[in-house]
Amino acid sequence: MENIADKELIKSIDALDLVLGTIMKPLVEAGASKVVGNGNFVSGVAKLGLAYGVVKYGPSGRVVKGVAIGAGMDGAEDIIVAAKSKLGGATTNATSAGVF
């Protein structure tokens, strides 16, 4: 498997890219939930795959980085929520649990 961490796209992430990724996260979540659902292992793996594919095959640019960051964040969140659900933990997110 190719090491995508060596790609210039990954090496050039700055604070603006992270802000754009945070904005893109709910958009990716809304769009992908119609296809693969939300908060389950399948949706998590699909979104992480989307993030990988966008970085590997997509053009360079802030929007591409934003989509990759947003999809990666949401995919990781879905896997964590699914794992907590399988282990009998609460399925609420951090904000509704009063963490923030």
pLDDT digits (tens, 9 = 90+) for 54-91: 988 988 888 998 999 999 999 999 999 999 988 876 55
Task: Please indicate, yes or no, whether the overall pTM of this predicted structure exceeds 0.85.
Answer: no
User: Given this model, what pLDDT does residue 49 score?
Assistant: 96
Tell whether 93 is covered by a domain: no
Beta strands in the chain (DSSP E): none
In a domain, 25, yes or no: yes
Q: What is the pLDDT confidence band of residue 25, given thresholds at 50, 70 and 90?
A: very high
Domain of 76 in residue numbering reads as: 13-86
Helices (H) and strands (E) in the chain, counts: 4, 0
Say what the pLDDT of residue 99 is: 43
Of 5-9, 30-34, 40-44, 80-84, the poorest mean pLDDT is in: 5-9
28 domain residue, yes or no: yes
Quote the pLDDT of residue 79.
95
Q: Which are the contacts of 96, defined by CB distance < 8 A and separation ≥ 6?
A: none
Whether residue 58 lies inside any domain: the answer is yes
Element (H, E) at 80: helix 62-86
Q: How many domains does the chain have?
A: 1
